Structure 1
């Protein structure tokens, strides 16, 4: 039996023989490969001509992830590019032979452009690439295909000054490209409309483009202190082109605050805008003459923020707008003084600075720019109206004059109104009592409907327009309370719809209502009456038309009310129950409904004031008022004059309301005959009878009335 030592040696000896065999096999198989690699490493690089012998073929392509990708390189375009002087292998250094095994590695621009690569690595684009955003811009996105890159001095180059907006816009002008990064495409379109964008589009080589403000490779966030568009860096960025203005601004009160690190002080972009910068002569520019106070200076100097933090007086815009200058500006004047006229533009300084345009020693000269000959006393006139009372005599006197006049106006006009109101009331009552108001025009149920309609309609008008114009006196009447306004508007709307529903039942279920329906039905006679009425009042005819119980005037108003109630009710409910409406209809339907609701309200309100109020208040025949809405009755003489056909019908029927004298029928006949020419109205009379109207009753002599 072998010893333990002998067994171990034997085992080792067998293993050693196997190892030698394996090593020999590896060398036999690997030496050819190593030899081939050695030959490739020592082989000379391929020339560009050798590469282009294949790659100049327009049909040359390869498959990448299942997609066909062209690998064509135009020889002429490559030779004309900035890389045309280099061999292909300058960039593709790992390509030694064909076929390209292993496949060539991706070329790094940093090999030749380390500074640009280092700057790019700090940019927002590089950060997005590192975060895995495939659409983030890289070298080729801005410079184009590496084989066709042209120098930036070439107008065809993607980085030529005039083409940079288009190059940046290929990403930043496409919303679905930039939206995933939380960026809007609007700045690109705004820039195109700006003074810079228009100048560049016209071929300017001096107007600012994207890279002038954001830089080329090192594009950083506006929140980055190293970014050229970081707030405190903006004056320097703009100053690269606007040097004199930059120096002037940095000496101003705003520039000094910026240099101290005050975030609330404005810089160039706060006043002029960012991408949509427009010339000051453009009315839509924030620094235009008419807009300067309201839209630019007012953002800071109207509120209380500056007052609370820096002791700067607030309300500067409102007091300016209440002055002559402000009112003239609001009326469209382009020559009246605005903020910049007195305080300066970029050189604004505190009034305590002797260099300031509003320093007391310079005020006369400043005012003299518009008012030649203005002296020191002229300059003491306050430009901002309603400024707080100060210690000077003028401010104190102005304060007390204002208070005295407010009381004087209230007392004087109040006593005048009281005096005339007492007289008007007595005269109106006397006229009402002396008239024979015997004709029942409106029944109690009709008067209640009218009263509820009146209250609900004007409540809707007041509460609706108060929301549309929250700064108006309408809102003040409601105590500027939105909760009260909202509830009142909806309650009034519900009452109006309730009246409409009741009126529909009233028309169908009551004899009185059915008579209203018959009276209000449009007829062809209404058109003839309208024509004849206009001819009469224009002096083209000596005869008025004969109206029945309801003329075209009442019918037009009645059906306008029906139409308006339906429109206002439907659109109002859609806006009120917006959530329920949008479950079944698209959201734009609610927007359209709200627009219809507003303009229908305007139409209805104006119609009431222009049409209804004339006929019941301002018509000389009924002034100061047609009292039928209150007690339902009108005078016999007025009814005989305005509605002769129905009056004659009442007389013929022996109505005690109409037949107040034994000559009533004769009076009606005479009146009708005097105002209705049978020959002139033959066509109208025929139309009336054809529409089914009752024949006019005969008079005692056997003739037809009218």
Structure 2
């Protein structure tokens, strides 16, 4: 009994061993059979010469397998691979293959990712850098529109690698080769034949299609140039709309540059898509040449195209008026024959900028140099004869009344607001402009703030002008070209000439009267700026009214002049004006607070305007202008306010400089 019990376990062990051996043998059969399968054997059936091969498809219906072109396969990048390297589920060469249920179906993604992982493990990334690009393309594909589930069959993606590349014949020919040209020309057919038939039909009739197909111009845009090959995204997204403008610009660089100078382009560069882009005017797949009568931008069709956006039916918009049709969205300043108005306006503005900056920057630099040299030499300022008049040196001279000071402060704040909001659009391509636009709520709010500030600017100017004129007209003793007038006179020209002689040590420093020539320039520059910036801005703010009476080229010139004059004003204010009033050696440390307190010490007044001082002393009128100095608190607050405004101005100057030199 005991011997029988001892034999039973041994029999069980032998039986288990036998079963395991059999399992190993039979399990190895598919692998061994697969190893014997070569490409020649596979192609003997799948080359299409023996008729089509059908396999069970979806819902029990049969589907035909695509045949493999042996010639194209032999030239493909996969030609040296065995068929079963991808089709690992195939275990035999029978007509109806026995398949290994545990094997993965062919998958381009997992295969290439594994190859790249092996290359990184073996430190062969440089030798196989092409694999790295493929893996990057895979990452882009996973985020793309094509990787989303298909609406008709959610079990598969909208498009997979095989749909575009064809794994049995895929090969990207070398750049510049004839095969590359042929491959490039096939891209529209690849995209259109299977999925995008309507778009292909439109493309073939477009100027791009005609260039590619009819003229053989491989530089003409194809599907992947606009949509990319692997980063295909939904065309309704803002990311695509923004990137699409740059895509057009890759080929049409000059047109992109001119587009970004327009309001449409500025909003686009700020990162918003509600203004017209390339496709809104030219369309997308059926782009026509401008001279083509069927083109949306042909002269006879432009108004219709403009009214897609400029229509009373759109919130905040108005119907396009006749001048819209002659607006040139791609006008440049270097083509006199096509755009004579832009050519002339640009040359005038460039000359104006060069003259103003060259003169006044040289003026400031030489002034600083001469004062520094005089201080080194210990020269004292000119002596003023008081003719025995006893003055209380503790008193201050009242130079500006309260109304002027308030107007100056509001004017300064409004001007800085205009500079910030205006240059954010002017330099929309800079790194800082989109940040400003987003901070205030977008370009629409940016434009609203700019317009409100502009109306305040003009309003303050008009109030000042009316006040001054009515006061002067009632003053029967006022001399329009006298020493108290802001109108330039011959003494101003003599003072300017004398100042330059002083700069070079060829004469004494001129004795300025109530208003120095550079102060008069500051004053009248506002009149010039209000008219140039104001009228051009008004025309641009109400385009439907402007275009009702004026041709479209006024928008081109208006945009140019408005931006260039604003640039001139901003840079002049924050360099020359700041120097003359705050950064001269005799004004350091800044700020000069006379425009905030309204008064200055007698010593300072006598130094800045000695002729005025002497005139008042001679007439005995100076005592009428003597007041108590501002309180310590008022003076301290004025200094703090002045420093804050100077800091804001210098920051704005920095932003303008960054925008000017980087865009």
Which TM-score applies when normalising by structure 1? 0.40
- Of structures 1 and 2, the larger Rg is shown by 1
User: Structure with the greater relative contact order (CA < 8 A, sep ≥ 6): 1 or 2?
Assistant: 2
Superposition TM-score, scaled by structure 2 size: 0.42
